[in-house]
Amino acid sequence: MTDGIKKSLRDSKSARWTALVIVAFTMFGAYFFNYALSPVKPMLETVLGWNSADFGMYTSSYTWFNVFLFMLIFSGIILDKFGIRITGVLSSGMMAVGTGLNYWALIHVFPEGSLIFGFKTQVVISAIGFGIFGVGTEAAGITVSKAIVKWFKGYELALAMGMQMSIARLGTALALGICLPVAKTFNFTSPVLLSFIFMLIGLTAFIIYTFLDKKLDASEGEKEIEEDEFHPRDIIQIIKNKGFWYIAILCVLFYGAVFPFLFYATDLMINKYNVNPNLAGSIPALLPFGTIFLTPLFGSIYDKKGKGATIMIIGSVILIVVHGILTIPFLNIWWLAALLVILLGVGFSLVPAAMWPSVPKIIPEKLLGSAYALIFWIQNIGLWAIPLLLGIILNATNPSVVPNKTLIKDAFSEAYGEVLNNNEIQFNDSEINSLISNINTELIDNIIQSTNYVATKDDDINSDNITKSIVKTTVDVLSSISLTGNVDDFEKSSKQLVIDAVKPIIVSNKLNLRYNYFWDMVLFSILSISALLCAIGLKREDKKSGYGLELPNIDIK
């Protein structure tokens, strides 16, 4: 009878790993949507007229409500007060709602010049959707972390957290690898629609998990449920802990040097390393693919051998090496970038594999929800500020790129409009916009990939003459071919001819269409150096306070 009471469902290896896999599906979808639009950034510029500041605002909006409305703090309190099941279902539902709003904003046609607080209406509503999604994702993240501690404490805790991160990062890898080809094959909104489907699957998965969690509580009886009840005032205990602050600051610096980098990595590969846009996403995708295998490996090492603080120091050093080399302007060989991304994946596996399982060694279990929430909140401050700053820096140091892309698109619009009107071909506005966006995107991609000239200074460019030249050349080409009423046939017969005719005009005038990422990479290097200093400070604090970060996680019984 006594033995039966003591037996917990988490003592079953198959049960605890089943629980892990189920909740990991929720985070897989979250990580996919988080990067679904990153590879599509060039299409957002050419199709919707977004610039890098718009994209920076969009990516930073993930953290708006978490940071400024303290939603993450409330999520942690709700988690500690009401438990994993309620918080998990609510957070998964918010992720689905936010993704759905984002999709609606991208497919909706807003009036020309429509603004909210001086920003494009479409960008603002997309950002609000992404912000709602961010609230759900971060709440789900702390919920899943506490669930894993609940199931795996005293067992393979670091390995389990590593496996959950691996499944989640598979979503990141998939997004970086397939979203641009999917967008070009179907529509630039297709990756968001796919993300919405993943959100619904994730919500379903967490509902299924709640039944397993109920069985776990039932198997443990009442012995832990009423013990040491959480009170919001206990948060003061967390704030006073120096080890907590070292981990929180390391988290914001380390993730700030990686996640925002992935937002811009595909565009970096296209602009600096001349990688084919259809393949550019596959290089940053190497990072999460590497972490899929390495994070559980390093987590297992931490479980068995310890050395958590040392592992974080090594990972931070790797970050410095990678970003430092990527910053060097004349090193623009694509395979070197690929190797550095793989190495970055190693560093990105080391730090999280040790950092997250170290929190339960520093903070009591009853406060874990709030502790993870505070860490995520501080992290979100960085994930709000850093992408926004990156977009501002990129826009300020490359002021002519978006205007030049817009110039070409406007010239195509004028030329195609003239030819189509004269020939009375009945295409609707959507078909015409798609036709112009496709040829504009393909022309710009072709120029960036195949040429490497020193751009003409903005003051020396005669925009009117270039526009007239593009319009005349395009009209001449379109007038020389047989036009049909079928948009696909028209596009196939005209696209390459127009590109071949207009490309020399752009190249001869040396229009700046290529982003220079030097100063953004300098910022990443500064963040990496700061992360190393913080990791060293954490190791020193561990020696003083005896957290046991250098000790194994698995109990020796």
- 5 pLDDT band, cuts 50/70/90, is very low
The residue among 178, 87, 68 whose CA lies nearest residue 137 is 87
Q: State the average pLDDT over residues 172-181.
A: 87
What is the rounded distance in angstroms from the CA atom of residue 141 to the CA atom of residue 133?
12
Q: State the average pLDDT over residues 394-420.
A: 88
Contact of 341 with 283, CB cutoff 8 Å: yes
Across the strands, what pairs with 116? 119
> What digits encode the pLDDT tens for the residues 191-204?
999 999 999 999 99
pLDDT of amino acid 227: 45
As given in the structure block, the two tokens for residue 14 are 């198959």
Q: State the average pLDDT over residues 445-465.
A: 86
As given in the structure block, the two tokens for residue 143 are 């919920």
Q: How far is CA 223 from CA 6, 157, 446, 450, in A?
A: 10, 22, 66, 68
Q: State the average pLDDT over residues 97-103.
A: 95
Alpha helix ranges (H) inside 485-517: 487-509
For tokens 């060293």, name the residue: 536
426, pLDDT greater than 70: no
The residue among 304, 375, 312, 440 whose CA lies nearest residue 73 is 375
pLDDT of amino acid 200: 94
The residue among 117, 158, 524 whose CA lies nearest residue 306 is 158
Coil, strand or helix at 19: helix
Q: How far is CA 396 from CA 53, 80, 236, 276, 511, in A?
A: 9, 44, 42, 26, 17
pLDDT of amino acid 96: 96
- 422 pLDDT band, cuts 50/70/90, is low
What is the rounded distance in angstroms from the CA atom of residue 404 to the CA atom of residue 461?
10
- 411 pLDDT band, cuts 50/70/90, is very high
pTM of structure: 0.73
**To 10 degrees, what angle do helices 463-479 and 401-423 make?**
40
Q: What angle do CA 555, 140, 182 make, to 5 degrees?
A: 115
Q: State the average pLDDT over residues 520-533.
A: 95
- Amino acid identity at 396: A
What is the residue-averaged pLDDT of the chain?
86
Q: State the average pLDDT over residues 277-299.
A: 81
Phi-psi region of 454 (alpha: psi -120 to 50; beta: other; left: phi over 0): beta
Q: How far is CA 41 from CA 82, 123, 521, in A?
A: 40, 13, 18
Coil, strand or helix at 244: helix
Across the strands, what pairs with 120? 115
What is the rounded distance in angstroms from the CA atom of residue 192 to the CA atom of residue 195?
5
Q: State the average pLDDT over residues 302-331.
A: 93
475, pLDDT greater than 80: yes
228, pLDDT greater than 70: no
Domain ranges of the chain: 2-225+255-398+516-545, 401-509
166, pLDDT greater than 70: yes
- CATH number of the domain located at residue range(s) 2-225+255-398+516-545 in this protein: 1.20.1250.20
pLDDT of amino acid 165: 84
> What digits encode the pLDDT tens for the residues 21-69?
999 989 999 999 998 988 888 788 878 888 877 888 888 898 889 888 8
510, pLDDT greater than 80: yes
pLDDT of amino acid 251: 92
Coil, strand or helix at 241: coil
H-helix or E-strand containing 169?
Answer: helix 157-185
> What digits encode the pLDDT tens for the residues 348-374?
888 888 898 899 889 887 788 788 888
Q: State the average pLDDT over residues 388-403.
A: 88
Q: How far is CA 412 from CA 416, 447, 467, 472, 477, in A?
A: 6, 16, 9, 10, 12
> What digits encode the pLDDT tens for the residues 130-151?
999 999 999 999 899 889 988 9
457, pLDDT greater than 90: no
- Amino acid identity at 300: S
Phi-psi region of 376 (alpha: psi -120 to 50; beta: other; left: phi over 0): alpha
As given in the structure block, the two tokens for residue 70 are 């303290």
What is the rounded distance in angstroms from the CA atom of residue 11 to the CA atom of residue 152?
9
Q: State the average pLDDT over residues 61-79.
A: 87
What is the rounded distance in angstroms from the CA atom of residue 431 to the CA atom of residue 287?
37
